[in-house]
Amino acid sequence: MKEKIAILKSEIENDYRKIGNILAKFEKAYAEYSASGEYSKLIESAFYVSQFYSGFENICKNIAKTFENSIEDDFWHKSLLDRMILNIEDIRPALLSENSHDCLNEIRAFRHFFRHAYDMDLKEDKFRIVAHKLFALKEPLRKDINNFLDFLESLKRE
């Protein structure tokens, strides 16, 4: 099991580093949109939000595969995220705080819309809500991830 934990820890660290790079690109694109009002920068910002969530979801999938051994359901994207606020006794602590979960759930819903809406323009006022959720999530998510990495490190030492 120590080997699986070491692999998971490395995967989370790698994905979180990539997410950090995506966040930096998002912040730059959104600042450019805010300054110019250019629709293409709004779309670029939305693309990075979608990428961010996909990267975060990969972390969740790896955790679920390591500890719970299954990801199944018709609504598995939401089920997976909901599972990450569970403290599963004698298996693993929750990955996310309630606050992080709530922000990520909004971002997950936006990603679904962004992936599937092919005949709609992105509404700036609605996207602003999602963008602010992502800004608000940055520090709490860092804390949540670091707490989970500390848990994994303690498992490796046992």
pLDDT per residue as tens digits for the range 56-111: 999 999 999 999 766 666 668 888 999 999 999 999 999 999 999 999 999 999 99
Residue 62 backbone phi and psi in degrees, to 5: -65, -40
Mean of all residue pLDDT scores within the chain: 92
Residues 158 and 156: their CA atoms lie apart, in Å, by: 6
pLDDT attached to residue 75: 66
Write the pLDDT tens digit of every residue in 35-63. Answer: 999 999 999 999 999 999 999 999 999 99
pLDDT attached to residue 70: 67
Q: Is 145 exposed, middle or buried (0-12, 13-18, 19+ CB in 10 A)?
A: buried
pLDDT attached to residue 85: 95
pLDDT attached to residue 136: 95
Check: CB of residue 33 under 8 Å from CB of residue 46: no
Q: Which domains are present in the chain?
A: 2-157 (1.20.120)
Comparison of pLDDT for 125 and 32, the residue scoring more: 32
Torsional class of 88: left (φ above 0), alpha (ψ -120 to 50), beta (otherwise) = beta
pLDDT attached to residue 69: 64
Report the candidate in 43, 40, 45, 41 with the shortest Cα–Cα distance to residue 23: 45
Residues 46 and 94: their CA atoms lie apart, in Å, by: 28
